Structures are given as structure tokens and as C-alpha cells.
């Protein structure tokens, strides 16, 4: 299909480990992406002890896909992609998901490898107009199941790694009761595990001058910042940045609260974030420590934008 020279609509449905997300966008010459419609629905994908999706999980996925597919077809996209990430990479019965999605929508689910996911995220960040003058950066995308690490230099991807450091993954692994506040042993264990995992798997080729974060957890970190600093405007042409000191303070506060207290103190946090936000914030701090940087830049341009900008990566 030759669609590279004219503007056309593309839809991307991303089945994440905690949330399923839809982007409908116009893609035009020069890989420019203009979002037309976006929607997210909670859909935590949990595997049993044998790494299989249960029937209730399968039903939940198909219902979520059906809702987002219905939203997307209203825009009559020229191309429609549906992708899965970490949780579906690990599911031994992912073929069942593929078949059910095809029967329901006619779409063929592509389960991305970790490197494919990281590459798509890098292309997404590169499509962000607020970062158009940035040609070298380090980045991470923090999802529910995994975290992708990227080093990008003058249009070259130097590092694309996917690590099992998602917020749901770490919460399940280290927090005995997510409804309670975190104790010192839990926070320390998470921090040490992340630090060790980064040291063992990531070798930086260049010092980190700019660290960019994407993913739902960074979006809610931004909402926390806006809530705590209501007079600070982000209506500029520049990318939004956080100081490490703010992230440290909000992490201590969040971890000290139980799940009911978190919900009352920060009413905008949805139910499917309240239990995993402590692990997510600890992870963000550890990646900043590893990169030896005191400022984090946020981009909304993620995997979905990367696929919209470069649909050939799906071929």
C-alpha cells in the first residue's frame, strides 16, 4: 500500500500490561503525526503460575479491544495496527488471544519483541514537535510489564533494551500487600533490584544530557506535579520537565500512604494506578540515579506515535 506521500489516517491499538490504549492520527509526509483521537481503558493482563492467561483475562482483553476498535472505525483509518507488549510476550497461550481478536475485529495482533517495542518508542519520541531540536537523548518508557531503555544519537539507535521492570511486575514481585503503605524493606528491595538490573544490562555509550520519560506512570507523575504546583503553567512550546527533588518528595509521600489514603489525597489517580504508583515512582528515581541526571523531560509521544510515524516497522 503506497501511502507515503499524502496525509492519511492510521489507528494503533496498544495492549499494554496495565492499560489498553488507542491512537487515531493523521500521518503526513515527513513522518509528521497529528493526533485526532486518543483513549485509554484499564485492562491489567495477569498470568497464572503457568504463564497462561485465564478465561476471565481473555474475556477482559477481548471486551476492551472491541470497545477501542469500535471507537477507531468511526474515523475510517487507512491502516489499523494492534500490538501487544510484555504481558503478551510472556503468555504461553497468546495464540488464543490472536485468534479471538481476529475473529472479533479482523485485525491481526502483532506481539512486539522488546527491541521492536523500544525502537517504536524511540521513533515516537523523535516525532514530538516539542523535542524537534533534540537530536541526542536517553529515554525510558515505563509500562506495566516492562521498561524500555533507549539511547538515541543523530538518528541512530545506540541502545534499545527491554527490561522486566514494569510497575505491575515489580509490585507483584516485591510488595506483599499493595493496599498498605510500603515499609522500608520493600522500598529498599525494589530500589536495589532495579539498580542491579540496570547495571547488568545497560552500558551507556555517551553521558546522559537529556533523559526523556514516556508511559502512563510518567503521565501520572506529571498530573501529581500539576496538582502540587497548580500555578505552574505548561502551556508552552517547550517540553515539560521535572526536578528530581520533586520526584523524591512525592515518592516518599506516596509510599507512606495506604491505598485508601492515596486515593483521598490524590483523587485523580485511577484505581488501577493506586496500587502500582509506588513501584513506578521508585523506578523513575532509580533510572535517574543510573543516568546521573537531576531533571526528567516528559513526552506524550510514545510507542503508538512511533508506529504512526513509521508504520513500516510493523511489516
- Provide the CATH number for the domain around residue 162: 3.30.420.150
Final residue before a domain boundary, out of 91, 115, 139: 115
Domain around 79: 8-115
Q: Does 25 map to a domain?
A: yes
Final residue before a domain boundary, out of 115, 138, 157: 115
Q: What is the pLDDT of residue 153?
A: 87
- 18 with 81, same domain: the answer is yes
Listed as ranges, residues in the chain with pLDDT below 50 are: 1-5
The total number of structural domains in the chain stands at 2
CATH of the domain at 30: 3.30.420.40
Secondary structure in 3-state letters for the chain: CCCCCCCEEEEEEEECCCEEEEEEEEEECCCEEEEEEEEEEECCCCECCCCCECHHHHHHHHHHHHHHHHHHHCCCCCEEEEEECHHHHHCCCHHHHHHHHHHHHCCCEEECCHHHHHHHHHHHHHCCHHHCCCCEEEEEEECCCCEEEEEEECCEEEEEEEECCCHHHHHHHHCCCCCCCCCHHHHHHHHHHHHHHHHHHCCCCCCCCCEEEECHHHHHHHHHHHHHCCCCCCCCCCCEEEEHHHHHHHHHHHHHCCHHHHHHHCCCCCHHHHCCHHHHHHHHHHHHHHHCCCEEEECCCCHHHHHHHCHHHHC
- 25 with 158, same domain: the answer is no
Q: Does 103 map to a domain?
A: yes
- 231 with 282, same domain: the answer is yes
Q: What is the pLDDT of residue 199?
A: 97
Q: Does 310 map to a domain?
A: no
Q: What is the pLDDT of residue 8?
A: 86
Q: Does 313 map to a domain?
A: no
Q: What is the pLDDT of residue 44?
A: 93
pTM for the predicted model, two decimal places: 0.92
Q: Does 315 map to a domain?
A: no
Amino acid at each position: 500500500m503506497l501511502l507515503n506521500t499524502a496525509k492519511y489516517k492510521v489507528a494503533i491499538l496498544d495492549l499494554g500490561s496495565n492499560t489498553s490504549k488507542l491512537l487515531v492520527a493523521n500521518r503526513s509526509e515527513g513522518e509528521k503525526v497529528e493526533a485526532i483521537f486518543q483513549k485509554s481503558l484499564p485492562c491489567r493482563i495477569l498470568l497464572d503460575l503457568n504463564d497462561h492467561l485465564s478465561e476471565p483475562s481473555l474475556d477482559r482483553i477481548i471486551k476492551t479491544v472491541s470497545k477501542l476498535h469500535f471507537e477507531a472505525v468511526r474515523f475510517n483509518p487507512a491502516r489499523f495496527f494492534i500490538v501487544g507488549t510484555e504481558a503478551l510476550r510472556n503468555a504461553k497461550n497468546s495464540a488464543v488471544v490472536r485468534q479471538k481478536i481476529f475473529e472479533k475485529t479482523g485485525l491481526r495482533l502483532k506481539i512486539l519483541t522488546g527491541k521492536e517495542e523500544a525502537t517504536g518508542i524511540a521513533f515516537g519520541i523523535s516525532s514530538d514537535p516539542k523535542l524537534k531540536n533534540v537530536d541526542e537523548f536517553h529515554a525510558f518508557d515505563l509500562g506495566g510489564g516492562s521498561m524500555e531503555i533507549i539511547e538515541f544519537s543523530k538518528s541512530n539507535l545506540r541502545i534499545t533494551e527491554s527490561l522486566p521492570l514494569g510497575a505491575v511486575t515489580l509490585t507483584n514481585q516485591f510488595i506483599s500487600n499493595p493496599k498498605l503503605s510500603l515499609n522500608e524493606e520493600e522500598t529498599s528491595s525494589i530500589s536495589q533490584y532495579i539498580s542491579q538490573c540496570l547495571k547488568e544490562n545497560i552500558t551507556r555509550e555517551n553521558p546522559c544530557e537529556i533523559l526523556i520519560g514516556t508511559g502512563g506512570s510518567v503521565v501520572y507523575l506529571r498530573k501529581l506535579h500539576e496538582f502540587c504546583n497548580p500555578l505552574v503553567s505548561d502551556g508552552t512550546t517547550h517540553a515539560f520537565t521535572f526536578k528530581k527533588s520533586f520526584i523524591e518528595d512525592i515518592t516518599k509521600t506516596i509510599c507512606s500512604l495506604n491505598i485508601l489514603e492515596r486515593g483521598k489525597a490524590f483523587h485523580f489517580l485511577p484505581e488501577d494506578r493506586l496500587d502500582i504508583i509506588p513501584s513506578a515512582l521508585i523506578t523513575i528515581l532509580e533510572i535517574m540515579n543510573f543516568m546521573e541526571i537531576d531533571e526528567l523531560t516528559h513526552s506524550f509521544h510514545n510507542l503508538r506515535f512511533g508506529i504512526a510515524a513509521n508504520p513500516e516497522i510493523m511489516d
